[in-house]
Structure 1
């Protein structure tokens, strides 16, 4: 049995791919008899992250983080995010000679540049520094692995994602029956970096349906009154929405993976996307998804694809495999001290 401490600034009640991944991997590891604990913003004073208020940034000292690590006495430490908790955990680990791994979930350089006039290379410089002391940096796709390596990130390892095949599964269409078809679905954060407007602007037949919330929702809803904005949906309701769609549209160009794509595929829904990191790593079978720089063309082509092929392709993405890769990458916390001795 191993004791694993996961440090993350992203945590419940947030609904995003980082939180889903860390929760799912933790459940998988605990199901195998390992002990998993999380160092999260819970229990600390927090304030909302500028332009992304759903994320709460923690106000805490290195001493407190050191006390948590000492109390947990983990065999392995994984720092999942580059926020205040991640920064302080990194500082404590380096000060105490503890080895750790990190993960790269989010393209913060592009997200920051979409909101403020800050060159992406400045932010990549910070991220190289942050991840440079890790024994390994885990990334969700081979494309992301190659990109970070080209930006002089070291020790980059693949850590793919999974999907709950029982929760997201094919079934009869029960939603959107009163809306003109075909039914084109987007699920995710409604924000500038997700490029949702590229989907809304498409001149394609059918009804565009947006599931999710975010800072751009009100503006886009006002500008595109023919689209359906349903807000945040979870659980069985979200599963019904997925399986009732004819095509899932993923317009983002900045995601490192895109968990919602494999949720759609598991529900038997073909995907239309741009040929960028994430989609090109997931949609490797042309029978289940369409990639094209003309997103409208990708949507039209995806409408001809097999729902059975989509489901079959999704079965290759499992949380068990994700947990295997995570375990393989972990290093003993005392590895750094042992090498220095």
Structure 2
């Protein structure tokens, strides 16, 4: 089976992490991947993360969109198919050349829209793998922008023959707020996470950390507020933020350590050096970093609005879930409670079993094959 899919070279993003895990698993099988990337920069470095794949398995196509997307942003009014026509036609040219059996769409941003449009016009079956709900991420935007992007996100979801949701929470929100009805062909498959043996020593002080891009939905301000509350009550700890962007408009304490984004291998070592990963996000369809921390032996603290909370409940780790991060005092109390207990080997293994890459990828492959063959249940 030949699978075309949108790819991105940002190794810090959830889509890339999930893609690479799937590619690694499929590499020794008969399937092949056609990676299609849309770039918006005059100068880009080579995509190092894809170099390890043999050309016979992975074909990488790069489509330059720098003269189109900035000129015709989809937040503004206009005929998107007309404005982005050259990108859709270029994607169609790639698809005609490669002739994939199925197109796997990752996420609901501009690249997925372009690739889904090209696939639909060519009659190629589409599987949408949700990786973030766009409407949730743009809640701070004005009503008109949200309305326009809702139309685009809804179109992507409706164009898919099958939708893969990383959590039941994601499915509920999409069916309620995006589609407005139940998915005819949808399945919940969590993102996979592989436990590996890594080196790393935890320091004497209890260490809390937050990881991710600095965006409004990630809600890093709540992590800063937590740190300041722990300082106020004189609770000894160390606070670390791993982020690729630093918003200076917020009063960030000098006592918070900042680290730049890391490779996956470095992140695994980092997880083992901290005591608690704090995920203050207002919403996440899953949360790969929390999953990775757990299988590497580190406790997490998430809200009920994060998809991985479902995995925590199944693994009997409800103590790591709170309602929200709105009240720093309540969050600090939760941190202090978690500091009294360690993640046991049995609990870690329970999470790892639920997110086993072999099981997850077999389910994804089955969905792709059924979509290709027209035997969707």
Aligned to 2:335: 299
Question: 1:13-28 counterparts in 2 under 5 A?
Answer: 13-28=10-25
Q: Unmatched 5+ residue regions in structure 2?
A: 39-60, 71-83, 324-329
Alpha-carbon distance in 2 for matches of 1:173, 1:194: 27
CA shift, 1:172, in A, is: 4.7
Alpha-carbon distance in 2 for matches of 1:335, 1:279: 31
Alpha-carbon distance in 1 for matches of 2:193, 2:297: 13
| Cα 1:95–1:119 shift into 2, 3 Å | closer
Aligned to 2:78: none
Aligned to 1:325: 363
Aligned to 1:187: 211
Alpha-carbon distance in 1 for matches of 2:302, 2:272: 18
Alpha-carbon distance in 2 for matches of 1:234, 1:298: 30
Say which structure, 1 or 2, has more relative contact order (CA 8 Å, 6+ apart): 1
Alpha-carbon distance in 1 for matches of 2:349, 2:174: 30
Structure 1 stretch 114-123 or stretch 155-164: which is displaced more? Answer: 114-123
| Cα shift readout 1:77-120 (whole Å, capped 9, x = no counterpart) | 11223344322332233323222111221121122222455575
CA shift, 1:19, in A, is: 0.7
Structure 1 stretches of at least 4 aligned residues deviating more than 6 Å after TM superposition: none
Aligned to 2:47: none
Aligned to 1:126: 152
Aligned to 1:210: 241
Aligned to 1:53: none
Alpha-carbon distance in 2 for matches of 1:120, 1:144: 18
| Cα shift readout 1:300-324 (whole Å, capped 9, x = no counterpart) | 2221233224522332212222211
| Cα 1:163–1:245 shift into 2, 3 Å | same
Question: 1:230-269 counterparts in 2 under 5 A?
Answer: 230-269=259-298
Alpha-carbon distance in 2 for matches of 1:81, 1:65: 17
| Cα shift readout 1:166-196 (whole Å, capped 9, x = no counterpart) | 2xx465515x56xxx2100112112221011
CA RMSD after TM alignment: 2.7
| Cα shift readout 1:269-300 (whole Å, capped 9, x = no counterpart) | 11112122314213123447511133323322
Answer whether contact 2:130 2:163 (CA < 8 A) is retained: yes
Compute the TM-score of the two structures, normalised by the length of structure 2. 0.76
Answer whether contact 2:207 2:240 (CA < 8 A) is retained: yes
Aligned to 2:65: 46
CA shift, 1:59, in A, is: 9.0
CA shift, 1:76, in A, is: 1.6
Answer whether contact 1:62 1:91 (CA < 8 A) is retained: yes
The SS at the match of 1:185 is strand
The SS at the match of 1:114 is coil
Aligned to 1:312: 349
Answer whether contact 1:79 1:90 (CA < 8 A) is retained: yes
Aligned to 2:201: 173
CA shift, 1:131, in A, is: 1.1
Q: How many residue pairs are counted as aligned between the two chains?
A: 318
Aligned to 1:163: 193
The SS at the match of 2:194 is coil
Structure 1 stretch 19-28 or stretch 275-284: which is displaced more? Answer: 275-284
| Cα 1:238–1:303 shift into 2, 3 Å | same
The SS at the match of 2:320 is strand
CA shift, 1:200, in A, is: 1.2
The SS at the match of 1:315 is helix
Compute the TM-score of the two structures, normalised by the length of structure 1. 0.83
Alpha-carbon distance in 2 for matches of 1:89, 1:237: 32
Q: Unmatched 5+ residue regions in structure 1?
A: 51-57, 337-341
Answer whether contact 2:63 2:87 (CA < 8 A) is retained: no
